[in-house]
Amino acid sequence: MKSDWRIAGWQPVSLIDYPGKAATVIFMAGCNWRCHYCHNPQLWYSQANNLPFSNVLHYLRTNRSLLDGVVISGGEPTLCPYLPSILRAIKQLNLAVKLDTNGSRPAVVRRLVRAKLVDFVALDLKAPASKHVALTGRPMAAVLLTARWLKAQTAVPYLFRTTLSPRLTLSDLHTIGTEMVNGATTWQIQQCRCPGAYSAQKVCEFATLLKKYAQDVVVRGL
Binned at pLDDT 50, 70 and 90, residue 54 comes out as very high
Bridge partner residues of 73 (DSSP):
27
194: how many CB neighbours lie within 10 A of its CB?
Answer: 16
Read off the amino acid at residue 17: D
User: How confident is the model at residue 194, as a pLDDT?
Assistant: 87
User: How confident is the model at residue 2, as a pLDDT?
Assistant: 52
Mean pLDDT of the residues in the chain: 94
Binned at pLDDT 50, 70 and 90, residue 53 comes out as very high
- Does residue 4 carry a pLDDT above 90? no
Plot region of 10 (φ>0 → left; ψ -120 to 50 → alpha; else → beta): beta
The tens digit of pLDDT for each residue in 207-222 reads: 999 999 999 999 987 7
CA atoms within 13 A on the CB side of 35: 25
d(CA 108, CA 101): 10
According to DSSP, the β-strands at 69-74 and 96-101 are: parallel
- Does residue 78 carry a pLDDT above 90? yes
d(CA 8, CA 78): 14
The tens digit of pLDDT for each residue in 162-203 reads: 999 999 999 999 999 999 999 999 999 999 988 899 999 999
- pTM, entire model: 0.95
**68 three-class SS:** coil
Closest by CA position to 219, among listed 209, 199, 205, 204: 204
Q: Which residue stretches of 50-187 are H helix?
A: 53-63, 83-91, 106-114, 129-136, 141-152, 170-176
What structural domains and CATH numbers belong to the chain? 6-124 (3.20.20.70)
* DSSP conformational letter for 178: I
- Does residue 63 carry a pLDDT above 60? yes
- Does residue 48 carry a pLDDT above 60? yes
Bridge partner residues of 162 (DSSP):
189
According to DSSP, the β-strands at 96-101 and 120-124 are: parallel
Q: 203 or 40: which carries more pLDDT confidence? A: 203
Binned at pLDDT 50, 70 and 90, residue 148 comes out as very high
